[in-house]
A and B are shown apart, each in its own frame.
Chain A
Amino acid sequence: MKAYLILEDGTVFTGTSIGANKEVISEIVFNTSMTGYLEVLTDPSYAGQAVTMTYPLIGNYGITRSDMESLKCWHDGFIVRELSRIPSNFRSEYTIQQFLIENDVPGIAGIDTRALTKILREKGTMNGMITTKEYSDLSEILPKIKAFKATKVVEKVTCSEAYTLQAYEYRSNIPDSFDGIDGFENIGKAVKSRKMEASKASHGEKTYNVALLDFGAKRNIPRCLCERGCNVTVYPAHTTAEEILATNPDGIMLSNGPGDPADNVEIIAEVKKLYDSNVPIFAICLGHQLMALATGAKTHKLKYGHRGVNHPVKDLKTGRVYMSSQNHGYVVDEESLDPSVAESAFINVNDKTNEGLSYKNKKIFTVQFHPEACGGPQDTAYLFDRFIEMMGGAL
């Protein structure tokens, strides 16, 4: 079946319908990662958006449920050049086509995704409609497309009630050991076990209780903490600061999440209270923006955002540059920072925008990018170690 992508500027792409057969209006963004489409599809930060993958061949390795970063797909729509007709990977359970239908996500395939990306790059992120209906008169629907704004997205993606994940028990699906294969020496332990051993070696056997505020958290955030010996209690986004602080957590983690950070007025007020407590805090992405807003800084929307797994960020303290996984449309305005409150800790090497903050006289540091990766490079996972060290008393 034919499908159309109609952008708010009137551009129309014609392709083939994939996934659910329904019409949707959403914000159109692009992601440049070459692998990790499932992680992208299940990243709650994409709620209220339709994502186009710039890599043209999608679905090659099928769908493996345990790689999902949340329970379902949050995209409004999915835009690709070509969907693989067969999945090929030993872990694949079913096809991406089925996945989209199962999640009731409409999409379009067979369009020039590079041309679309260039439009978004040049004109900035804009809204669009994915439909199988042929509109002869765009003037009717363009205002409707233009008017779209995703609201209450954090509410949509956060968990409904608190739950706890036990240290070392919740972890990634990569098998623990490659042992037992004949004839191989030193195949060694699996990456994960190695990490866990290393963690125990460096942080000791002590376990920490971490409160994770779920604004749309990717699963790998609690995983990274659990692997490092934390018991993680996940709280709905609107949990009050008092309720969290009452449990006496060793540390608080603010998660990633979707939407315009400034919309979350109530949450920001609670985050301010967390700031005022002396509990160590680590925040990622939306969490990072909310903390900045809570302490008086401002955020603004980037022209077309950072979505991909190849974004260079520089640790200003060490001068080291790391590849990072990113997914954000908004950014903290460095100019608006109160220098007595926070200072820039990471910047993006390409556009020099803020990528992380370190709060003065507080055990608080926040990053715009995703150290939990999934998908993307694991280069900044050391930040979780830094958080653990901070809970253990280090500044």
Chain B
Amino acid sequence: MPLNKNIKKVMVIGSGPIVIGQAAEFDYAGTQACRSLKEEGLEVVLVNSNPATIMTDKDIADEVYIEPLTAKVVKQIMLKEKPDSLLPTLGGQAGLNLAMEIAESGFLEEHNIKLIGTTALTIKKAEDRLEFKNTMEKIGEPVAASLVVENVEDGVAFAAKIGYPVVLRPAYTLGGSGGGIAHNVTELQDILANGLRLSRVGQVLVERCIAGWKEIEYEVMRDGAGNCITVCNMENLDPVGVHTGDSIVVAPSQTLSDKEYQMLRTSALNIITELGITGGCNVQYALKPDSFEYCVIEVNPRVSRSSALASKATGYPIAKVAAKIAVGYTLDEIKNAVTGKTYASFEPALDYCVVKMPRLPFDKFITAKRTLTTQMKATGEVMSICTNFEGALMKAIRSLEQHVDSLRSYDFSNLHGEELTLQLQKVDDRRIWVIAEALRQHWDPDRIYEITKIDRWFIDKIKNLVEMEEALSTRELTEDLLREAKRMEFSDKVISELSGKTEEVVKALRHQYNIRAVYKMVDTCAAEFEAQTPYYYSCYDGINESIETKPEKKVLILGSGPIRIGQGIEFDFCSVHCTWAFKEEGYETVIVNNNPETVSTDFDIADKLYFEPLTPEDVESIVDIEKPDGAVVQFGGQTAIKLTESLMKMGVPILGTSARDVDAAEDRERFDEILEQCQIARPKGHTVFTTEEALNAAHELGYPVLVRPSYVLGGQGMQIAISDEDVIQFMEIINRIQQDHPILVDKYLMGKELEVDAVCDGTDIVIPGIMEHIERTGIHSGDSISVYPARSITEQAKKNVIDYTEKLARALHVKGMINIQFIAIGDDVYIIEVNPRSSRTVPYISKVTGIPIVKLATKVIVGHTLKELGYAPGLQKEADYIAIKMPVFSFEKIRGADISLGPEMKSTGECLGISPDFNEALYKAFVGASIDPTRHKQIIMTLRKEDRQEGIEIGRRFEALGYKIYATRGTARDLNAAGVHAIKVNKLEQEAPTLLDLLLEHRIDLVIDTPSSGVEHSRDGFLIRRTAIETGVTCLTAIDTARALVSSLEVAHQAEFNLVDIAKVKNA
């Protein structure tokens, strides 16, 4: 069937802000699908509240609305744009839920909008627990014994019948949010109550636990004619019980015989056929390790994280094909873009092994439980490809950028016998390291299998790696040994540590024996057909096949690696735009990255893609082959910046701002000199290495002070200290990891925080806009609500910002991007930090100003001037509307994480609120972040002393909106004294009913809890905040955020919003 002629204008719904369980993979899928639709000449209307995405670019869709993803807003956009079709399967669970809500309301029928790519019935059959179970029963596909319950009592009764442990899965939540495994009735009551609350439909599936079975996934495609294929299958190294997003996943499956493989494949095909899916679908299975018994765990009738992984693992563009199917094509009509010869109606054959590892945020949330469960906790992931499993695992480990480069990186050698057994029983992110230790202690692999249920094949592979460690540290480093170690992807650094030779010697030996990385192509077909797309991975056991190119100009672009808190999708946005701009300038572009979720690793973004770890050695091997004319590091976040020195040593020129100048911005002394030259003030501060020096510095500056390591992104490890005790503790935490650079101790100044992203061509500076933070200084810029244009600072302060930006850009000889953060106190402006590189706010400010900052910066880097590019220097004309970037958090996913905001970044994503009216923009931003506390109109306030005065005003405004206020003793007293009615509630240690009871009654919309600063976090406060988060109640910890929220609520009653088509935003 060719293109359906009735389809002309398609609306695509994105997945909204990045949260755990719903990350960049949907930008990748959405971008690919939108491009594929436009290729067909269709008009695309895009809705997504996330401004950091590439899919919300005006080049990707015809009309772009960065608006909150609510039924009300989407309907309003539909009325305005009048699309004929809605494609709901690209926006993850959020997009699908939203589409369902709109479809169920009858709105689509009423306005003649067709759901394409799926049907409401299909979604219901796959997503509704009961419907799903019935459907599976109908076609004889086994599912684990389960019951959908709507109250705790039914759950308890059912669990008593099937026996503990039981798995709990709330319906319609993302990343398994609110789910878990209950081992007894107490745990069951706890998790179930929470799950019921988090489920959109108040349903939780109670299911017999099949933990310990093999977890296998199939990615399936089906077209409108009923043709089905499986793109690939994947085997989780971690057995059932760990969310697949948190598991180490291998593609294709390694331990299934053809009988098992085909049994599950046939099942997956039967399922997709019965559900009537037209597009992509993911089916998850539990397979009993000692029989053919299996059951279907879950079906996702849409593109997913797994489908992104499968696309990258095989080269098969699932989202693109799904979009083509949605508009009418059949699989045999869609060309396989990788081979250009074959069609989408085939199953990729891999001739390599793929390993995916999750990037978990426990380095950020040190109080959080490391345990992995059915609730996903990973913020991102890395993927690696090699000809053998050992090599793929080693490459994945060093791609994580978590100070790990081998199975020796976490030391468990102090554990023996019973202790080691206990550690092995813990299902956490370090389990493979524990297994390695057990193997070093010569444990029988069977014993490890019995404890972990990780398949013996994987254990043997880990054993092989451990044996190589042993060989390297005991045997002579012969050519054969070195060759074998490299085949298993031991880095030169690890080999040097084990063999006692220096890294240089190891490298020299390698070159002497001609042991070099070679590159193989990911071609979807195991070399059966010639491929067109240069998508490469390295190995050491073969012949190089990366095509030698000698273009006039070739640039190496370093990506930003796995998504983590502090370095998110924004940097992928920058990398991709930089690549496109270089292409426009006639460069051949070569990207190196290891993140399977991103657009930058799509096969047709750069001219060449190397799916490799971003370490100096891995990059050098690529440089040896590609011999680029230069590299850009300013767009790939800290990951790329960290490679600067190594690239220079390899003789690769750094394009744009020189490494020396980049360093000047980070090096305290040199930076101070520059500030002095420019006569710019900054908070006083010192660089220190030891705790003693830090204390001296703090005493000299006077508390409060900011303590932080240098050369980090996202304020990692940054804290405000108010006492010696704090300083001692923070220094201890920072120094747990070897610091190559000094630690900074600065005077903490309280004021308005401002931020600027600018482009400098060496002479002129273009400042697209000034952003202002709602929260005062002390809260990380990534966690603050950011307002463009800045509206509450003085004209003089604004002038100073422009002046300082220009001076600093020139003084640092910036060529390309610069990001500066300021504090404004009245007319006075101080510098907080300068980053001569791309920042988190670049996509946001690009979109709301209509100025393509990355493109400009790239063109400046290759030698154009800003004037040439048509931009007048200085601050650009301010927009006619207000654009607010709202941070979005994933606290409910990370048990035990402290949610109070501070100088260390904690948010995982962002959304935008845009409107000519400030309060409306705010309201949209809050709603976009799912903060809409209007259900019960009851709030709890518990404020520290310093915030009470401002709290009274906020309380008064809530009261005027009809809210009932509960408050802890001191807060209640002050509120009541000022004439704001507040009901006093007891703190936790006091008699019931306490604050906690109030929360657990589920009658509260919002908690405003501003904790006192310093280490001394009260246990109470922590508990209140956690309980609020875990029961789905919004909890704000900064008084400024609360004020913004109440302002926004004052416009909440508006029937319609002002809509802004971002694609039409132009800067004159």
Q: Which residues of A contact B (CB under 8 A)?
A: 30, 32-36, 38-39, 54-57, 60-61, 64, 67, 81-82, 84-86, 88-91, 110, 112-115, 117-118, 121, 172-175, 178, 181, 183-191, 194, 308-312, 314, 319-323, 349-350, 373-379
| Additional A-B contacts beyond A91-B257, A117-B526, A187-B293 (16; CB < 8 A) | A32-B351, A35-B256, A35-B262, A54-B528, A57-B254, A57-B388, A64-B257, A86-B456, A89-B256, A112-B543, A117-B527, A117-B528, A194-B140, A310-B346, A321-B330, A321-B331
Asked if B457 contacts A60 (CB within 8 A), the reply is: yes
CA distance A188 to B140 in the complex (A): 6
Chain B residue numbers with a CB within 8 Å of A175 are 291-292
Asked if B526 contacts A57 (CB within 8 A), the reply is: no
Say which one of B225-233, B357-365, B949-957 lies at the interface with A. Answer: B225-233
CA distance A186 to B135 in the complex (A): 12
Chain A: minimal CB distance from B251 (Å): 10
Asked if B266 contacts A312 (CB within 8 A), the reply is: no
Chain A: minimal CB distance from B535 (Å): 14
Chain A residue numbers with a CB within 8 Å of B525 are 32, 310
Say which one of B142-150, B833-841, B843-851, B887-895 lies at the interface with A. Answer: B142-150
Which of A173, A183, A379 contacts B269, CB < 8 Å?
A: A379
User: Which interface residue of A35, A322, A349 has the most chain B CB atoms within 10 A?
Assistant: A35
Asked if B258 contacts A185 (CB within 8 A), the reply is: no
CA distance A110 to B347 in the complex (A): 26
Chain A residue numbers with a CB within 8 Å of B121 are none
Chain A: minimal CB distance from B403 (Å): 30
Asked if A378 contacts B543 (CB within 8 A), the reply is: no
Which of B341, B343, B456 contacts A312, CB < 8 Å?
A: B343
Chain B residue numbers with a CB within 8 Å of A54 are 349, 351, 526-528
Pull 5 A–B residue pairs with CB atoms less than 8 Å apart, ordered by A. A55-B351, A321-B332, A350-B346, A376-B262, A379-B266
Chain B: minimal CB distance from A60 (Å): 5
Asked if B343 contacts A35 (CB within 8 A), the reply is: no
Chain B: minimal CB distance from A252 (Å): 28
Chain A residue numbers with a CB within 8 Å of B269 are 379
CA distance A346 to B287 in the complex (A): 35
Chain A residue numbers with a CB within 8 Å of B351 are 32, 54-56, 113-114, 117
Asked if B350 contacts A34 (CB within 8 A), the reply is: yes
Q: How many A-B residue pairs have CB under 8 A?
A: 197
Chain A residue numbers with a CB within 8 Å of B330 are 319, 321
In the A-B complex, the 6 residue pairs with the smallest Cβ-Cβ separation, listed nearest first, are A36-B258, A112-B542, A375-B258, A88-B457, A54-B526, A310-B347
Chain A: minimal CB distance from B161 (Å): 9
Which of B252, B456, B528 contacts A308, CB < 8 Å?
A: B528
Asked if B457 contacts A56 (CB within 8 A), the reply is: no
The answer, yes or no, to whether B715 is at the interface (CB within 8 Å) is no
**Given the contacts A34-B252, A112-B543, A349-B346, A178 and B257 also touching, CB distance less than 8 Å:** no
Asked if B142 contacts A184 (CB within 8 A), the reply is: yes
**Given the contacts A32-B528, A312-B343, A312-B346, A86 and B289 also touching, CB distance less than 8 Å:** no
CA distance A34 to B261 in the complex (A): 10
Asked if B142 contacts A188 (CB within 8 A), the reply is: yes
Asked if B341 contacts A350 (CB within 8 A), the reply is: yes
**What is the predominant secondary structure among interface residues of chain B facing chain A?**
loop
Chain A residue numbers with a CB within 8 Å of B295 are 184, 187
Chain B residue numbers with a CB within 8 Å of A110 are 541
Asked if B345 contacts A349 (CB within 8 A), the reply is: yes
Asked if B457 contacts A323 (CB within 8 A), the reply is: no
Q: Which residues of B contact A (CB under 8 A)?
A: 136-137, 140-145, 162-163, 208, 225-229, 252-259, 261-263, 265-266, 269, 289-293, 295, 330-332, 341-343, 345-353, 387-389, 455-457, 460, 464, 520, 525-530, 541-543, 545
Chain A residue numbers with a CB within 8 Å of B352 are 56
CA distance A308 to B545 in the complex (A): 23
Asked if A350 contacts B343 (CB within 8 A), the reply is: yes
Chain A: minimal CB distance from B340 (Å): 12
Asked if A377 contacts B265 (CB within 8 A), the reply is: yes
CA distance A387 to B136 in the complex (A): 30
CA distance A172 to B266 in the complex (A): 16
Chain B: minimal CB distance from A199 (Å): 15
Chain B residue numbers with a CB within 8 Å of A190 are 292
Chain B: minimal CB distance from A73 (Å): 16
Asked if A86 contacts B137 (CB within 8 A), the reply is: no
Which of B265, B332, B349 contacts A33, CB < 8 Å?
A: B349
Asked if B257 contacts A320 (CB within 8 A), the reply is: no
**Given the contacts A56-B351, A113-B351, A35 and B226 also touching, CB distance less than 8 Å:** no
**Given the contacts A82-B388, A178-B142, A349-B332, A60 and B527 also touching, CB distance less than 8 Å:** no
Chain B residue numbers with a CB within 8 Å of A349 are 332, 342-343, 345-346
Q: Looking across the interface, which residue of chain A has its beta carbon closest to that of B347?
A: A310
Chain A residue numbers with a CB within 8 Å of B145 are 183-185
**Given the contacts A55-B350, A350-B343, A375 and B457 also touching, CB distance less than 8 Å:** no
Asked if A183 contacts B266 (CB within 8 A), the reply is: no
Which of A33, A61, A115, A186 contacts B137, CB < 8 Å?
A: A186
Q: Looking across the interface, which residue of chain A has its beta carbon closest to that of B445?
A: A86
Which of A181, A188, A378 contacts B262, CB < 8 Å?
A: A378
Which of B228, B292, B527 contacts A118, CB < 8 Å?
A: B527
Chain B: minimal CB distance from A29 (Å): 12
Q: Looking across the interface, which residue of chain B has its beta carbon closest to that of A117?
A: B527
Q: Looking across the interface, which residue of chain B has its beta carbon closest to that of A189?
A: B140
User: Which interface residue of A55, A84, A114, A178 has the most chain B CB atoms within 10 A?
Assistant: A114
Asked if A174 contacts B349 (CB within 8 A), the reply is: no
CA distance A376 to B352 in the complex (A): 19
Chain B: minimal CB distance from A370 (Å): 12
CA distance A38 to B258 in the complex (A): 9
Which of A38, A56, A308 contacts B388, CB < 8 Å?
A: A56
**Given the contacts A114-B542, A117-B526, A121-B530, A375 and B345 also touching, CB distance less than 8 Å:** no
